[in-house]
Amino acid sequence: MSSRRKNEDKMQSRGQIFNAIHRFIELVARGIFLFIAFLKGPAESQPPIKNLILLHSATTLALKIRNKQLTSKEVVQSYIDRIMEIQPVLNCIVEDRFEEALKEAEKYDELLKSPNAPSVEVLAKEKPFFGVPFTTKDCIGITNMRQTAGLVVRKNTVAESDAEVIKLMRAAGAIPLATTNVSELAMWWETSNCLYGTTKNPYNTRHIVGGSSGGEGCIQAAAGSPLGIGSDIGGSIRMPCFFNGIFGHKPSTGTVSNDGQYPSAQSDDQDRLLAIGPMCRYAQDLLPTMKVIAKKDKLDVLRLDEPIDITKLKFYYMEDDGGQFLTSPVEPEIKESMMKVVSFLEKAHKIKATKLNIKKLKKSITLWMANMSCKDEKDFAYELSNREGHITLWWEFVKWMLFMSNHTLIALFTATFERFTVKHGSEEYSRLIQESRDLYREFQDILGEDGVFLYPTHPTAAPLHHEPLIKPFNFSYTGIINVLGLPSTACPLGLNKEGVPIGLQVVGGLHQDRVTIAVAEELERGFGGWVPPTTVA
């Protein structure tokens, strides 16, 4: 046996031991978190959805407004009323612009009544979301609204202009309604910060909503907004969609402008990972939103109007990442839901999905961290200072223990851990970037323009609050797709035995966004899509 093979076997053996220890810690910690949740009392109940306007898709609302079956003011007021109901329970929004939104809605309604009103056809083409409200996360700038990114020192920071995606949504007739909660500086997958607190899952308030677009995932699932805009650098759209049972799309790299997102990317690698995209309850809203927010010079390559024949697609899947170190095993119910999709494709469309074993996916976390590595010492400690120097980590830990810190514990851990990761520009960094490119080419060779890869969005359903602290690397299932720059659509597949959502992500070849969205629409038809949250006793 060669020395290289022996070393690989030793690494494998050590990895299995580490995973066994980590699994034991997970089980013990979950028991502790369950006990803490029990001491806090039963999960809180949210009001049921009574207003039927809240059950329409954004595109249906736009159609009804254009045809004068509903007024924009009626729709906006309905969502304001719903937010007022759910906010005390879920804590999903951080700032509203209700008065301004109602005034804008009135102007739209007056325009439709005027003799010079545009025709229904013109509105459908030029302003597809005419009079429809929408929300976005507190990282994406809206003029004259706070843009804190969950950082206490930014509590009074106000955006001077709209982010590019907000400009495009406004131009399409949509009305900004509120901004939603995020994790501190959008760098963790539980939405909680020292400025606005913790957002709770609408299916069970003991569980998390994901992050960083967690407030957006929550408000969509609870029918507090018909359409949302999120951003995703390691799964920040797809994880909240998965945990909250809604649809979301991370676009192909570079197809939607990141201008106006804070924190902005600090390197070309980070900018390539970052993507802004739609979050919604109904799959039919994904494509129209992408048509609005995609860069104009990318529309030809995206071919969003080109129809997709599901039966002509090639499907591939993996049930897990092959056993990555320190990552939770994929829960049986999530694997079962994926196999139900595979069975559905075969029965409904005579499509035989092919099971893959892409070994490089076991290095997902390492590859993501290499691509996220900072240069010029602009690390997370620099970001936590609001880009004004660096926070002193040991002192912030002391302050945290004395309940005096303005930072979350996980933010301090993240800044500390980053100091031990691969350094930008190092030999190891160059090797990992090359491995990332090799993996991209492997995926492109497999998927091409007609291939689809089904992959878990996350190994577990929504954890309990604070539970991500002992399973920090579980975001690897989404993070690796950011490294590849490929489009990925999060699709809900119902609820598990505990009554919280599960699903999967649909990954396509570069610029094949319309393909993954078409598959999402088909899975919605086959599995029902969003399930309205019920009150929890």
Please identify every residue annotated as catalytic. 137, 212, 236
Number of H helices, E strands in the chain: 19, 13
In contact, 169 and 176? CB cutoff 8 Å: yes
**Strand residues in 345-438 grouped as ranges (E):** 354-355
Are 460 and 469 within 8 A, CB to CB? no
**Apex 202 CA angle, 320 and 73, nearest 5:** 120
Determine contact, residues 62/24, Cβ cutoff 8 Å: no
Look at residue 317 and give its three-state secondary structure: strand
What φ, ψ does residue 493 adopt, rounded to 5°? Answer: -130, 40
**Would strands 192-193 and 275-280 be described as parallel, antiparallel, or unpaired?**
unpaired
- Sign of the four-CA dihedral 368, 374, 379, 385: negative
Instruction: Provide the token pair at 9.
Output: 């076997």
Between strands 175-180 and 197-198, the pairing is unpaired
The position carrying tokens 């999960």 is 43
- What is the bridge-based pairing of β-strands 133-137 and 228-232? parallel
- Is residue 278 a contact partner of residue 249, using CB atoms and an 8 Å limit? yes
Report the C-alpha gap between 466 and 209 in whole angstroms: 11
d(CA 464, CA 36): 10
Exposed e or buried b per residue across 85-116, where buried means at least 16 C-beta atoms within 10 angstroms of its C-beta: bbbebbbbbbebbbeebbebbeebbeebeeee
Q: What is the β-pairing status of strands 228-232 and 93-96?
A: unpaired
Q: CA of 530: how far to CAs of 300, 329, 359, 401, 526, in Å?
A: 31, 25, 33, 41, 12
Positive or negative CA dihedral for 416, 421, 426, 430?
Answer: negative
| 291 class by beta-carbon count within 10 Å (0-12 exposed, 13-18 middle, 19+ buried) | middle
HEC assignment per residue over 185-221: HHCCCCCEECCCEECCCCCCCCECCCCCCHHHHHHHH
Residue 225 and residue 136: Cα distance in Å, rounded? 10
Q: Is 108 left (phi over 0), alpha (psi -120 to 50) or beta?
A: alpha
What phi and psi values does residue 254 have, to the nearest 5 degrees?
Answer: 80, 5
Q: Please identify which residue in the block is written with the tokens 């003029």.
A: 143
List CB contacts of 362: < 8 A, sequence separation 6 or more: 321, 322, 323, 324, 325
